[in-house]
Amino acid sequence: MDDQIKESEATMRILLTGAAGFLGSHFADRLLAEGHMVIGMDNFITGNRENIVHLNENPNFSFIFHDVSNFIQVTSPIDYVVHFASPASPNPASPLGYPNLPIQTLKAGALGTHNTLGVARAFKSKFLLASTSEIYGDPLEHPQKETYRGNVDPLGPRSVYDEAKRFAEALTMAYHRFHNIDTRIVRIFNTYGPRMRIDDGRVIPNFLLQAMHGEPLTIYGDGYQTRSFCYVDDLIEGIYRLMMSDYHAPVNIGNPAEISIRELANLVNELTGNPSGIIEQAEKRHSNDPQRRQPDITLARSILGWEPKTSLREGLLLTIPHFKK
């Protein structure tokens, strides 16, 4: 463990795809703070220039506007490729959701992963894939361990995301086994925090936006479905530790504190002082919406010495000012 973490002291040139996104921009900040050089890559399909504007003057940051689904031409050596680029919201009501970007989502997960692994192979660099808890689909095992193989509908509205990420994991393992690429896979569970797009359609931005406008919070279905929400700083710490480790199989990173969507709505209303309550919109709960989700983080605890520190209440209080702005 100590030897693995010491690796972080070395400066690396890192290609980070999805750098203008919510998680990518936070990860860019962390990599730069650790003294690395970051080459951000993004096509802004769901990201936002504003997320990286503060890095414009940073001599260790450069940016390439590029769609990772197309061949990636990088001329100077890269030590590490971190592949975050993918539309990530499941909400069909949001124009940025993967149900509205189905082909782009499949291409970012499949062709984008192939192209970024190609960069890693060309430069003999390390590689980290941002995968997802959606690998487990609507899980029949609870909480979800990395060994669980999932309950995924290959044709439903979420399939473009789930299957692209499952393919991306398989491709990453194939490059690891066949081409000896030094790879990592992080399975990210629901994460929230500053720099999420307010119109992204995911539940926390939706609820915070509705609360700011004094509107009732929209619960899809009966609201008894659960999620486990991780504050972004905790997630970034976990991913950085995994990046610096020697572990090749997938690792769950998320906060195991499970909460129903109904309880989440009540908490948001309490923290924002929103008097308008909740409204049920049964018809908006689409098929394949997982009923329960909770990461088992035993593996991350043991190999990375990591666990989240921020409660949902604390994390929401840190996020609310971003939405007020």
Q: Where does this chain bind ligand UDP (CB under 6 A)?
A: 90-91, 190, 202-203, 206, 218-220, 225, 227, 261, 285, 289
DSSP state of 97: B
Residue 47 binds ligand NAD (CB under 6 A):
yes
Is there a cis peptide before residue 250, judged by omega within 30 degrees of 0? no
Query: What's the burial of 76, exposed, middle or buried (CB within 10 Å: 0-12/13-18/19+)?
Result: exposed
| Residues pairing with 17 in the sheet | 41, 83
Among 13, 31, 38, 46, binds ligand NAD (CB under 6 A): 46
Task: Report the residue number, 66 or 285, with the smaller CB distance to ligand UDP.
Answer: 285
CB-nearer residue toward ligand NAD: 23 or 243: 23
Least Å distance, CB 167 to ligand UDP, is 18
Task: Say if CB 267 and CB 31 are below 8 A apart.
Answer: no
Residue among 18, 90, 193, 315 that touches ligand NAD (CB under 6 A): 18
175 in active site: no
- As given in the structure block, the two tokens for residue 130 are 């941002």
**Binding positions for ligand NAD, 176-215, rule CB under 6 A:** 188, 190-191
Q: How far is the CB of 167 from ligand NAD (least distance, A)?
A: 13
Q: Catalytic residue, from 136, 161, 220, 231: name it.
A: 161
Which residues, 243 to 302, sit near ligand NAD by CB under 6 A? Answer: none
**CA-to-CA distance for 101 and 278, rounded, in angstroms?**
29
Name which of residues 60 to 119 contact ligand NAD (CB under 6 A). Answer: 67-69, 84-88, 108, 112
> 């992204």: which residue's tokens?
200
Q: Are 293 and 190 in contact (CB under 8 A)?
A: yes
For ligand NAD, the binding residues in 142-161 under the rule CB under 6 A are: none
Return the number of the residue (58 or 100) whose C-beta is nearest ligand UDP. Answer: 100
- Could you tell me where the DSSP H helices lie in the chain? 2-6, 22-33, 102-123, 159-179, 203-212, 232-243, 261-272, 298-304, 312-324
d(CA 210, CA 222): 18
Please say whether the beta carbons of 305 and 241 come within 8 A.
yes
> Whole-number minimum distance, CB 1 to ligand NAD, in Å?
25
Cis peptide before 321 (omega within 30 of 0): no
User: To the nearest whole angstrom, how small is the minimum distance from the Cβ of residue 201 to ligand UDP?
Assistant: 6
Among 13, 14, 38, 42, binds ligand NAD (CB under 6 A): 42
Q: How far is the CB of 132 from ligand NAD (least distance, A)?
A: 4
Contact segment (CB under 6 A) with ligand NAD among 40-48, 53-61, 208-216, 289-297 equals 40-48
Q: Which of 137, 148, 115 is nearest to 291 (CA)?
A: 137
Instruction: Name residue 202's amino acid.
Output: R
Please give the residue ranges that form the binding site for ligand NAD (CB under 6 A): 17-18, 20-24, 42-47, 67-69, 84-88, 108, 112, 130, 132, 188, 190-191
